[in-house]
Amino acid sequence: MKPTREQLQQRYREALERSLQAYARLDEKEWAKKASEHWTAKEHLAYLTSGAEDELLVVTRQQLAGEPMKVDGFETRQDAIEFNRQGVAKVVGLSAPELLARMKSAYEQHISMMDGLTEEELDKPAMNPNWDRPGTMRDLFCAGYGFLAQQYQQIRRVAKRKLPHWLDGGPPERTNFHLDRVFNYMPLIFRGDRAEDMQAIYLFTMEGPGGGEWRLKMSNGRAECEDGAGFEHDVEIKTKPEHWMDLSSGDLNPPMAIMTRKVKLGGNAGLAMKLSELFGAGE
């Protein structure tokens, strides 16, 4: 179920505040540590900042004004890696406090762009250079929320004792909101060019508080998400919400997750192994 403007703004603001409070606990040594294969924690913070300033805000302003989407240096999805690299390089020389201040300002601006928008306006078509096909204005704001959560999970790797898991400590409603946004956003970043002849139905069963079922249908190079309860499927991926997020962020290795029963597969397990190549911006 799509969130109302009030619900989305509330969760988006919560996500920003949670991120800022967590990052304030990190010291210079932790910011300098490797948080992923390619970037330090500070570089991920620079990515959060430049991504909001150079892409999210630019595209959202254009789409709200009814203008064609145009992001310099980001014409197609294949440009994403280099565009992001240049964005990080542009601001990473700033101190962590300076980056945090710019990040806070950028996301507050993005959240405030929803002020006064009607539900009908949020449902108007919109586009983003990362997407496989047009979505809606609501999806653009959901992208900002999702970006905060995604990068938080990367940054927390340098200090897991200080920074709780994104899905820890909140009510089930917050977990369900996050999952619903993730699965409904997946069709937009689906790599249709890699699945033109693919016909498959994935059922994602998230067990525990805040969980649920979502079904992803892939056909003719497109993907669609809908409530999965009680429907047919070709493969079922059953896990807990936090494990699914860890799989998505690379914190959990898929084969090991299956071996340890953190993830259970039903139906055509081979389809589950294809998921990683069907989503994402770069080559």
With beta carbons less than 8 A apart as the criterion, state whether 237 and 248 touch.
no
Reply yes or no on whether the pLDDT at 12 is more than 80. yes
Query: Both tokens of residue 213?
Result: 């079922």
The total of other beta-carbon atoms located within 10 Å of residue 206's CB is 26
Q: Using one digit for the tens of pLDDT, what is the confidence trace for 37-94?
A: 999 999 999 999 999 999 999 999 999 999 999 999 999 888 999 999 999 999 999 9
The total of other beta-carbon atoms located within 10 Å of residue 86's CB is 13
Q: What is the structure's pLDDT at 20?
A: 98
Q: What is the structure's pLDDT at 280?
A: 60
Q: Tokens 């962590």 identify what position?
A: 96
Residue of 137, 140, 164 lying closest to 152 (CA atoms): 164
Report all structural domains of the chain as residue ranges with CATH numbers, in order of start: 5-164 (1.20.120.450), 189-278 (3.30.1050.10)
pLDDT band of 126, cuts 50, 70, 90? very high
Alpha helices per DSSP H over 162-217: 172-185
With beta carbons less than 8 A apart as the criterion, state whether 248 and 182 touch.
yes
**Numbers of helices and strands, H then E, in the chain:** 13, 7
Alpha helices per DSSP H over the chain: 5-23, 28-31, 41-51, 57-64, 80-91, 96-112, 119-122, 137-155, 172-185, 241-249, 254-259, 269-272, 275-278
Q: What is the structure's pLDDT at 122?
A: 98
Q: What is the structure's pLDDT at 283?
A: 40
- CA contacts within 13 A on the Cβ side of 191: 14
Q: Using one digit for the tens of pLDDT, what is the confidence trace for 222-279?
A: 999 988 777 789 999 999 999 999 998 889 988 899 999 999 999 998 898 888 888 8
Which amino acid is it at 168?
Answer: D
